Amino acid sequence: MPLRAEEVTYDSEKEIASAYFDASDTEIKSIFLPFDGEGVAVIHATDEGNEHPYALGEIAFNSNDSKSGYAFVDLAGRANSLIVEVPHEGDYVDDLATIMVNVAIPFDISIKRTLVILLGIMILLAWGSRSFPLLSLPFRKSMKVNIALWLLVAIPTFLILVFVSFPCNIQTGTYDSFQHHEYFELAKSLAQGHVYLDLEVSPELASMENPYDTVARERGMVPFYWDYAYFQGRYYSYFGVLPCLLYHLPFYFLTGGELLNEWAVLFSILFLIAGTVYLLNTIVDRWFPGISWGTYLFGYAVLIVGSWGIFRIRHANLYSVPIVTGLACAVFAVAFWISSTRGSKISLPRAVMGTLCASLTLACRPQLFLVSVFGLVLFLDAMKKGAGRGAKTLVVFSPLVVVGVFVCLYNYLRFGSLLDFGASYNLTTNDMTHRGFSIVQSFESLYYYLVSPLSLSASYPYVNPEMPVSWSLGLLVTQGLPGGILLMTPVLVTGLLLFTKSIEVDPVVRCMGVISLALALFLIVFDGMGAGILVRYFSDFGFFIALPAVFAQLALFQRCECMGGVEHIARIAMTILLSVSVVLQLVYAFFSPVY
């Protein structure tokens, strides 16, 4: 039945609208908010056991999702009144006049959720009980196999992602904020032969003593462009230039228009999927020959889910473009290096390609250049075995020199320094030019990024982002997190098996796994201290946690091909972890807000 609001008020300071409802001694069991828009409402009530209003909780609503806006209510006896509070920033405030109570919550079978759950069950059946005989066939790499991989694995993965996630970005208006046009502005500037952006700097901003002081800009009502880099009177883009050179600039030359970031992300995700297939092929071919098709596909799933790269298709905006492009370059770099050092001699063409891909991360996501450590490990091992002696081996480093000179020159033209990429000059929520190192915040980053608890519920949006809270007095830049990456993707925990004697692998594999985990920890602290705790940075270090997990999984499953007992139990446990990882990540992708 509907309830009519007795009074609607608006708090201008808190920007919250409140509606008071006389529940007339009603026994309330459920509530429905028929609001138009998207947001979160806070519900308070008085009842027989509480004379004064107390908080019942929050209800997330989204008019585009028929499953939202409903909630069960547990009161202390009959209700006397209800108070509904919502942020005053949408048309749904007009709907505060009416809410509904004691409505039948529809038993709505979600096709997306059903498909995700079925996918998890299929994973359990396929790898846990060996119910699919085809998965037990030996994996053999060949041209036909590569074609089959693309037809049966890579392309379906891509199309599923596009179908279930990509349309959401168009519907939610990713381009409401001007910063999402940043690559377009950069393309126009590069086409005119300069690196600064043709954006007018307001006199108020130019006259500020510290233009990076967020509160000072707000109090002075200073006009500025959000999340653009500002340096010495001009605007610049601090995002890596490679995606602009690959996608936006050619499109601008051809059409004179803007290439939407969604398409750039899609192209880079295709490269990422191709790199994942190639990387897994090289790993299997070099260290784990004779595994089954099921083991191979399991490794593919771990890399895809664990890297969190393809998750960016749900948030295909400006921020995802350099992240996914850099991740694709990093994955190809490792694949080329593994392939180039597997024989009695180093394959210079493949080694050069690996170095080129690693160097290109400097032009899109500089912190991912740490992937070069894998190249050093592999080349040192190859030279130790006599596979890379001679002056010709030095040609491997030629791409680094070429790309490094280009990137340093680009930095110098923008910020007057060869090694300054300009991220600290962005105009956003805090003055990054004065950010220092904090032991407390470094531990906060490790905790929140790795093991912060999940926040799950049986109602929309099911996986609920929680705001991290600082452990000290200081600014913690953050957004809602669904939980640490090890809890959102629990299959990644299996990478720790590389530290045990039960996993027998090549010493180079173990070394790469240990180094990979160390690099992940470093990147977590680096991102946390440099920028904050944000979901999109999972893609910076997720790959480095997923790689040792794949090594451990391949080694364990290879033993399981001919053994049982404890190994088979471990296989089932890893399969369960992968199933949970897939379900959690996809549910979060489907129902999480687009940042």
pLDDT tens column, 531-585: 888 888 999 999 999 999 999 988 887 776 555 555 667 777 888 888 888 888 8
Q: How far is CA 350 from CA 281, 333, 341, 357, in A?
A: 14, 9, 9, 11
Confidence band for 169, pLDDT divided at 50, 70 and 90? very low
Look up tokens 């949970």; give the residue: 580
Q: What is the pLDDT of residue 167?
A: 43
Higher pLDDT, 310 or 484: 484
In sequence order, what are the beta bridge partners of 42?
58, 85
pTM summary value: 0.80
d(C-alpha 489, C-alpha 483), whole Å: 10
Give rounded-to-5 percent helix, strand, coil for the chain.
55, 15, 30
Per-residue pLDDT of 333-356, as tens digits, reads: 999 999 998 877 888 899 999 999
In sequence order, what are the beta bridge partners of 127?
none
Per-residue pLDDT of 366-416, as tens digits, reads: 999 999 999 999 988 888 877 666 666 778 889 999 999 999 999 999 999
- Nearest alpha carbon to residue 305 among 159, 489, 485, 575: 489
| Cβ contact 83:11 at 8 Å | no
Per-residue pLDDT of 182-197, as tens digits, reads: 999 999 999 999 999 9
| Cβ contact 158:269 at 8 Å | yes
Confidence band for 170, pLDDT divided at 50, 70 and 90? very low
| Cβ contact 149:299 at 8 Å | no
Confidence band for 282, pLDDT divided at 50, 70 and 90? very high
Per DSSP, the three-state class of 446 is helix
